[in-house]
Structure 1
């Protein structure tokens, strides 16, 4: 039985999501469809890439992932299907696969060519569903496209490191439902460049000199609960996906507010980490 996921910026008001699901069931009555999200910010490729990277690994091998964000076909925005980490992805070649493929190279990539006999202004419905159905029936990728060797890569998802490796310059790539700000700086890069040195994280007008391991680490549980005043405190940590996150403890967008609103941080804003020049003597190399 085929398992197909949907990730789009269609929202939930219009008919688009329902139409795509109906088309899948028409082709594959026994299919199982899982919505990853339909609330991607319109045309936000970086946000799509982040969400897809952190969602797909939870699905069983062989899952087919349809991704409909900025999917209109053009000479600069081809459609591709690829096999990666024993999963299949059907999406526009606009860079959204960059983060997913940052650690695992695709086994095969094809440029979809069935547009020759399918005219559509809604390619997710008319083209991507057909490709997904073909794969679900055990069809080869080579039947629906010409094999290619590369895909578009997003430059903005890669943080930069200065020449003497004392500064990492990253940016905001996603703001979650709690208003937490996720950057493109990974724990792996932080450890590799930082080498145990003291640091200062600069985010807008705010600075941080400590990264906690979990949100409630800032709470002193020796203080009686009625005397604790931590809600709304700002903090930084590496989230479950391994990316540096700037958060507000127990944030609530309707009351306390989130890091994005309270700290004035938005998509693509710059986040900088500056390290001391002296490496701590007790530092143990990451690959030791």
Structure 2
């Protein structure tokens, strides 16, 4: 059995969870039930289960913004898996001692691009062989949960699957914005409950211009500010948000409504360099 625990098991690594399962169905509870059964002494932290359905980019942002806030040996599972049941791989990205596990659909690409630490990647698709019964539509419960429990109890990814070049993992354009002199093409990764629009542009990546013009998909001038209060009430700006990425905001209003922005939108910004 691939996931047989060691008899001298003493490790109890923290587990983090990101899914698009929501909380109105039993899916999260079933996944966590498997974790409680197989790794009862491991702390489980819910990062979010409200990723928009099938939105790999949003999940990738949540993962990249969150993993460094966990213990250095944490194991984090991110399951947004439109290709569940197909031949897509199950992969693990090792950043320092942390393990990030996800389907190989681009979900890991922002975290992989953002880190300064040495990376290792492993193909853990062999985990598909472990369970006696597998639902072809719910690998989160039947494949990923037992795998995560095994890793949290001291299992080593190199003992399950071969190491692969991190550059071979699936990536998408939303993980790789284009920035040139005085111009950037970005992507709206997330819109938070306040209407702030988080972009795939890392904090500081544009320098410190006084103002920025949004060329598309909506026009408008954005003051480059440090805090929300630096903008007059109802006025827009661009600032370095708490998650390490630039965000378009309107003081005490919704930037998404102001500019008609949605998750997945691409936009062009320009400024005097």
TM-score by length of 1: 0.81
- The 8 Å contact of residues 131 and 144 in structure 1, kept in 2 or not, is answered as no
Aligned to 2:229: 216
- The 8 Å contact of residues 20 and 80 in structure 2, kept in 1 or not, is answered as yes
Q: Residue by residue, what CA displacement relative to the aligned partner does 1:254-284 show, whole Å, maximum 9, x if unpaired? A: xxxx1112321112323222233xx5xxxxx
Question: 1:80: how far off?
Answer: 1.2
1:163-202 mapped onto 2 (5 Å cutoff): 165-191=181-207, 199-202=212-215
- Return the match for 1:20 from 22, 31, 34: 31
Aligned to 1:83: 94
- Total equivalences in the alignment: 254
- The 8 Å contact of residues 186 and 243 in structure 1, kept in 2 or not, is answered as yes
- The 8 Å contact of residues 65 and 89 in structure 1, kept in 2 or not, is answered as yes
- Return the match for 1:115 from 103, 128, 145: 128
Question: 1:209: how far off?
Answer: 4.7
Q: Is residue 267 of structure 1 aligned with residue 228 of structure 2? A: no
Aligned to 1:227: none
Q: Residue by residue, what CA displacement relative to the aligned partner does 1:234-269 show, whole Å, maximum 9, x if unpaired? A: 222121233221112123xxxxxx111232111232
Q: Is residue 153 of structure 1 aligned with residue 174 of structure 2? A: no
Distance 1:238 1:171 in 2: 15
Q: Is residue 247 of structure 1 aligned with residue 230 of structure 2? A: no
Sort the Cα spacing of 1:30 and 1:161 in 2 relative to 1 into closer, same or farther, 3 A. closer
* Runs (5+) with no aligned partner, structure 1: 220-229, 252-257, 280-288
1:119-138 mapped onto 2 (5 Å cutoff): 119-121=134-136, 122-138=138-154
- The 8 Å contact of residues 233 and 249 in structure 1, kept in 2 or not, is answered as yes
Aligned to 2:56: 45
TM-score by length of 2: 0.85
Sort the Cα spacing of 1:146 and 1:184 in 2 relative to 1 into closer, same or farther, 3 A. same
Question: 1:207: how far off?
Answer: 1.6
**3-state SS of the aligned residue for 2:257?**
helix
Question: 1:123: how far off?
Answer: 1.1
Question: 1:9: how far off?
Answer: 0.2
Sort the Cα spacing of 1:209 and 1:131 in 2 relative to 1 into closer, same or farther, 3 A. closer
Question: 1:197: how far off?
Answer: 7.9
